[in-house]
Amino acid sequence: MKNRNLGLLAGLAAAAVALAVWVSFAPGDNAGPGQTGEALFPGLADSLPAVESIALSGPQGQATLSLRFGQWVVEERFGYRADRGQIRSLLSGLVRARRLEPKTAEDARLESIGLGEDAVSLVLTGTEGRVVAALRIGRARVPAAGESRKTFVWAEGDQRSWLVSSLPALTTSPILWLDKEIISLSNVRMSGVTITRADGDVLSLSGQANNVAALVVAGQSADEALAGGPANQTLTALSSLQFDDVAPPSEIEGEAVASARYITFDGLVVEVRVRAAASGGNWATFRAEYDAEAALREENPSQMPDAPADGAAEAAALNAGWAGWIFQLSRTDAEALTRSRSDVVIVALKEDESN
């Protein structure tokens, strides 16, 4: 009898715990202003044109995105332009977000879904500092095939947390919100490059990108062979060049490493100046110009499908984006832009030297 009573008490205790958990996580009258299936922020789409600032903060740092003269910039990176695609994804995700399930309001349980000290705060601010939307963002559930991403959040004004749909993954790192593209030129446009290093070494490379047999180094002798991989990497370095970080030139002290002068078949000239920063890493400035005479050379391809309609306008647009900035390069890109002649030319051993 005693054992039966103990078993009954244990069962009642387990049921009580289960009930408490259910009450904590299940829908109820105190679920707050939102209801299951409703938009996380009703009417947000109509308010987006007034948004002027997006602030994200968390244990790993903070990022402040501001709208200046029609362009989004990252305040913590000297006001450099932000990645519009990421911002579009964030804002559209907030508009599409739907309340799926009301969750806990208990502090002890918020930690388990990432809404404790590790939560990310997101605040959208409009004109005159008016808060358009604010929420804390916790952990995300790994979506099943065909499902949207699901995230635990606590929106301002709510009385408990919610599981919502459609929010993209967010970061509080300012660098990861930057538009990191420096330049992206089609490989078929590339005609040649001349790299002049600070030690006086000069590499002059020309030919057709991705065609090692057509690459030529100025002054190449009969007993010299071309290291095709490094040579092609250098010629195509501007095909999809991105930076690791950005700053005004006055912020980066260092010594000159090399300058590279690229030219395309259609007359675009890009000058790159690379310096080794005293604080570490390689940084570079960029400048473009249009050389109309170069576009008319007889040895140019008869057809240049990727050539811009207005070469001078292209150069001006590139300069507008580069003016006043210096960009930190990855190690691989820095190597490609500063190679010496000996890096791409191999001296073939004569027969008597190989023995």
Domain hosting residue 278, numbered range: 181-347
Secondary structure class of 107 (helix, strand, coil): helix
Judgement on whether residues 169 and 189 belong to the same structural domain of the protein: no
In a domain, 167, yes or no: yes
Report d(CA 312, CA 335) in Å as an integer.
Answer: 29
pLDDT tens sequence for the chain (355 residues): 444 443 443 443 333 333 333 333 344 444 445 789 999 999 999 999 999 999 999 998 999 999 999 999 999 999 999 999 999 999 999 999 999 999 999 999 999 999 999 999 999 999 989 999 999 999 998 777 777 789 999 999 999 999 999 999 999 999 999 999 999 999 999 999 999 999 999 999 998 887 877 899 999 888 888 898 999 999 999 999 999 999 999 999 999 999 999 999 999 999 999 999 999 999 999 999 999 888 877 677 767 778 898 999 999 999 999 999 999 999 999 999 999 999 999 876 444 444 4
CA-based R_g, the chain, Å? 29
d(CA 96, CA 267): 46
Which of 124, 144, 177 finishes a domain?
A: 177
- Nearest Cα neighbor of 181 from 269, 259, 80, 260 is 80
Which pLDDT belongs to residue 204? 97
Q: CB–CB of 301/279 below 8 Å? A: no
Parallel, antiparallel or unpaired: strands 181-183 and 190-197: unpaired
198 and 324 fall within a common domain: yes
Residue 95 placed within a domain? yes
For residues 163 and 246, membership in a common domain is answered with no
Domain boundary among 177, 202, 232: 177
What's the pTM value of the predicted model, to 2 decimals? 0.84
> Which single residue is written with the structure tokens 């027969």?
351
Domain C-terminal end among 130, 150, 177? 177
Number of domains in the chain: 2
3-class DSSP state for residue 325? Answer: coil
Laid out side by side, the sheet with 268-277 consists of: 216-217, 202-206, 190-197, 254-264, 268-277, 282-290, 326-329, 245-247
Please tell me whether residues 258 and 342 are part of one structural domain.
yes
Of 178, 197, 156, 190, nearest to 282 (Cα)? 197
In whole angstroms, give the CA distance from residue 65 to residue 137. 17
Are 130 and 209 found together in one domain? no
If asked whether residues 48 and 61 sit together in one domain, one would say: yes
The verdict on 43 and 170 lying in the same domain is yes
Whole-angstrom Cα distance, residue 340 to residue 200? 10
Same domain for 291 and 143: no
What number of CA atoms fall less than 13 Å from residue 5's CA on the CB side?
A: 2
Q: Are residues 213 and 263 in the same domain?
A: yes
Residue 307, amino acid:
A
- Integer Cα distance of 286 and 329 in angstroms: 12
Report the C-alpha gap between 243 and 296 in whole angstroms.
33
Beta strand pairing call for 71-74 and 80-81: antiparallel
Specify the pairing of strand 71-74 against strand 61-68: antiparallel
Nearest to 42 by CA among 91, 98, 93, 88: 98
